[in-house]
Amino acid sequence: MRGLKPFSMLTFLIIAASVVVLFLGLATGVAHAAGRRLVVSSNEDEPCKRMTAYYHDILYNNRFNNDTANATSASVTKPSPALSTSSSSNGNSTFFGMLVVFDDLMTSEQALTSEPVARAQGFYFYDRKEAYNAWFAFTLVFNSTSYKGTLNLMGADLMAEETRDLSVVGGTGDFFMARGVATVSTDATEGFFYFRLKMDIKLYECYLLA
């Protein structure tokens, strides 16, 4: 390595470390998959695994809903009045530019007090000026007698549509390397500070125990 400049040596070490991490990650994935068989659905009406759950978002707002005990989400940026195309009194009626971080409850039935299924942890932000529209990225964290592990979801929540699809891009545990679609519909709203989504999760690539 004689003659390498300090920056070049650092770059080499970073690349080498990345290769080692990648190799270990692939090896771990192969090890986890060794005792499983891959099931791929050939028909969209027949997923290899399916479940329905309800997502509850309770937004903390220190102006109207100063309830820290029940709130499960909080905005970490404010919508920008300067970017609004609306003339409403709040300056930005579509919340364009607002980012919300959440740790929301997923339940088996509509009621917030019904059986917990998972925690939905991640964020969404409003990304359209002219109408309500959001983009989600989050993980469903399961820890129950039924399921253990995680599912990762992401995609656009096109609020004007009756139903919209989010991509299931991976998972761990009982959902190891799962792929599929979560069809979402708005089930209830209370002002701007609570909404409930019905989420129909259909997995089309499943690694099942052999």
Position with higher pLDDT, 162 vs 192 = 162
Within 13 Å, how many C-alpha atoms sit on residue 93's CB side?
7
Give the whole-number percent of the chain exceeding pLDDT 90.
Answer: 57
pLDDT bin (cut points 50, 70, 90) of residue 15 is low
pLDDT of residue 69: 77
pLDDT of residue 66: 58
Helices vs. strands in the chain: H and E counts, helices first: 1, 10
DSSP state of 30: H
| Pairing between β-strand 164-173 and β-strand 36-40 as defined by DSSP bridges | unpaired
Residue 181 bridge partners (DSSP) = 167, 202
Spell 25-50 as b/e; 16+ CB within 10 A means b.
Answer: eeeeeeeeeeeeeeeebeeeeebbbe
Question: How much of the chain is in helix, strand and coil states, percent to nearest 5?
Answer: 15, 50, 40
Q: How far apart are CA 89 and CA 21, in angstroms?
A: 52
Position with higher pLDDT, 88 vs 81 = 81
Segment 59-73 shows an average pLDDT of 74
Q: Say whether both 1 and 46 belong to one domain.
A: no
> Which pair of tokens denotes residue 98?
């607002």
Q: Say whether both 9 and 43 belong to one domain.
A: no
Q: Say whether both 3 and 43 belong to one domain.
A: no
Q: Say whether both 69 and 16 belong to one domain.
A: no
51: closest CA among 189, 175, 136?
A: 175
Q: Say whether both 100 and 116 belong to one domain.
A: yes
pLDDT of residue 131: 84
Q: Say whether both 42 and 5 belong to one domain.
A: no
Residue 12 structural domain? 1-34
pTM of the model: 0.77
Spell 121-157 as b/e; 16+ CB within 10 A means b.
Answer: ebebbbbbbeeebbbbebbbbbeeeebebbbbbbbbb
pLDDT of residue 30: 47
pLDDT bin (cut points 50, 70, 90) of residue 193 is confident
Q: Say whether both 68 and 167 belong to one domain.
A: yes
pLDDT beyond 70 at 110: yes
Segment 67-76 shows an average pLDDT of 86
> Are 105 and 134 contacting, i.e. CB atoms less than 8 angstroms apart?
no
155: closest CA among 146, 147, 164, 163?
A: 164
Q: How far apart are CA 184 and CA 29, in angstroms?
A: 30
pLDDT of residue 31: 45
Per residue in 144-190, pLDDT (tens digit) is 889 999 999 999 999 889 999 999 999 999 999 999 999 999 999 98
Position with higher pLDDT, 81 vs 70 = 70
Give the whole-number percent of the chain exceeding pLDDT 70.
Answer: 74
